[in-house]
Structure 1
């Protein structure tokens, strides 16, 4: 009798048990799928695919930079009449130097010779046998003491240059600024030569006269390509567009095995003039803190440390941020930034801490990104 009563009771509640079992299985299935999937990102760049790994946003690495003093400045004064008969340039130097000018230089031979040790190059340059047979004409040559900005006109002795048709195998004009000092008194990281490659407009190649490239040679043999940084909100310290004193020297491929990845360069030793209170540049995102970080590889210098952690693309060109380096100190950051970076522990009430702890557990359980 008791067994019969039990069977009747189970039969009466069988529908309820079935519904509960289905709901339980459905919830378990949802949790399993959610825990083992990649959630769609805000920009819609990733699709929903099964993934058993927890997705962690990689931290953008900071480049360790070394500041190097460049004793020379070289700038073309662009005019509509720039030609082989008259190329105007503005030159200054803080050290005694020798200037050598070559016309119609073979591109391949120039780059091969630039990779040679500085002691060898210095000896050949001093004897005027550098690039022998690999240039069409030699131009202006002189040794000068330090001087401020000075305009110099370079002209071709003989107006006949055989550069061929594009793509050409020769540079129209190459200008060497070479440091004249005892090699034993120069630190290995010091700049010993600035090489300027100039294109000159002619009837075959009508592109405007401009500096194609600038190469930096250091006493340790390192060869780097000098590239300007792009300041987004104007020029600090009232510098002209092509005279911004901050640049990045990117080592040319195949160089010294111990060479740095990149080097922060500054032609002047007075960095305070760049970041004075009257001309301080502001972050393009928040327009509150001063900009302090240069983004790579685009070289835009446009954001502060506070906004950097919220971005994965450059706000100017929308290019991806692979790395960065600081161009100034970031003492302006408030205490809240130190708390965010984990240098200080925030003080909250017990209820806030309890809710925050359970929120973290739930996010980790579901496999969401923080």
Structure 2
């Protein structure tokens, strides 16, 4: 499976997000970038624009903004030439007049935040490089009082490929500290990027915003045997919690008890002794999901 590094992070802060007055975000970047956010963006026009090539999108962001004013209610923020930085809090004041999106199903997303890589005109990027992270946010309102949350995230690569990000739930913590289940936490430094209906796509991508899982001395262990490093992400639940040896003995996820239909590897499995895995493989690897 191809690994792709995402130089951006984006999350919503809980404090204040039950308010109709503002939305608070926490963002970071490892590259120079532009952040542009828009209120009430047309769903149809957003998805159509994301299919454009990176060169077209880059040129548009240099000349104006990535979303045309005819396809949103108003611009929330547009900050250019942002230098790389650690996590910073950004507060967006709710628009005036207030958003009027109507009853579901709606034709517009309440808030869309773009983090766009800034490059020199003649700068060449590897086709797999991440160039845009698109964050679609639902905002709590009187008509649709569901909590403010991230509805979807999309990854745009220099090659033009567009993928939908889905979080992988990585089991972390010290499994030897206790047996009450509290020592294993579910966190997400890994994501699965599934291509959006693209006939010539290269298949799903394994995305990370850090290299924690590859650092020497930091070994995340299988939640079953607590001996071998975890290396397999289970589908469809997306829990990344077991090693290759224990996988052959399970038909359900040890974290959520969901049936395992397929899997993919997030790292090499050279740690496995030659005779440790049953010769008869009971589960099919997803086509193209090889480490």
Distance in 2 between residues matched to 1:294 and 1:328, nearest whole Å: 10
Instruction: Please name the residue that 1:197 is paired with.
Output: 136
What residue in structure 2 maps to residue 108 of structure 1?
A: 44
In the TM superposition, 1:117-128 aligns within 5 A as 117-128=53-64
Q: Could you say if the C-alpha distance between residues 152 and 130 of structure 1 is closer, same or farther in structure 2, counting changes exceeding 3 Å? A: closer
Of 314-323 and 133-142, deviating more is 314-323
SS at the partner of 1:112? helix
Please state if 1:149 is matched with 2:87: yes
CA offsets per residue over residues 226-266 of structure 1, 9 Å max, x none?
A: 11111345599x9x966x3211001112x2x3212210111
Contact 2:231 2:268 in 1 (8 A): yes
Give ranges in structure 2 of 5+ residues lacking alignment. Answer: 176-182, 281-291
Counterpart of 2:285 in structure 1 is: none
Identify, as 1 or 2, the structure richer in helix: 1
What secondary structure does 1:126 align onto?
helix
2:193 equivalent among 231, 243, 249: 249
Residue in structure 1 matched with residue 275 of structure 2 by the alignment: 336
Offset at residue 131 of structure 1 (A): 3.1
Q: How do residues 163-312 of structure 1 correspond to structure 2 at under 5 angstroms? A: 163-182=101-120, 184-232=123-171, 234=173, 244-253=188-197, 255=198, 257-269=199-211, 271-273=213-215, 276-277=217-218, 280-312=219-251
> Which has the larger strand fraction?
2
Conserved 8 A contact 2:169-2:190: no
Q: State the Cα deviation string for residues 133-187 of structure 1 (Å, max 9, x = none).
A: 1101111111211111111111134142121112211111000000000364211
Change (3 A) 1:267 1:203: same
Residues 241 and 195 (structure 1), Cα distance of their counterparts in 2 relative to 1, 3 Å cut = farther
Q: Of the candidates 121, 134, 140, which is equivalent to residue 77 of structure 2?
A: 140
1:302 Cα offset (Å): 1.7
Report the RMSD for the aligned CA atoms in angstroms: 2.6
1:75-113 superposed Cα distances (whole Å, 9 cap, x missing partner): 111125543422111111011001111000111111111
C-alpha distance in 2 between matches for 1:211 and 1:168: 16
Q: What displacement does 1:271 show?
A: 3.9
TM-score between both structures, scaled by the size of structure 2: 0.83
Question: After superposition, what is the alpha-carbon deviation per residue over 1:278-329, rounded to whole angstroms, capped at 9, x for unaligned?
Answer: xx33323333322211112221112111111233443334444333222223
SS at match of 2:226: coil
The structure with the larger Rg is: 1
Aligned equivalents of 2:124, 2:186: Cα separation in 1: 34
Using the alignment, how far apart are the partners of 1:126 and 1:210 within structure 2? 30
Equivalent residue for 2:14?
78
Q: Which TM-score applies when normalising by structure 1?
A: 0.67
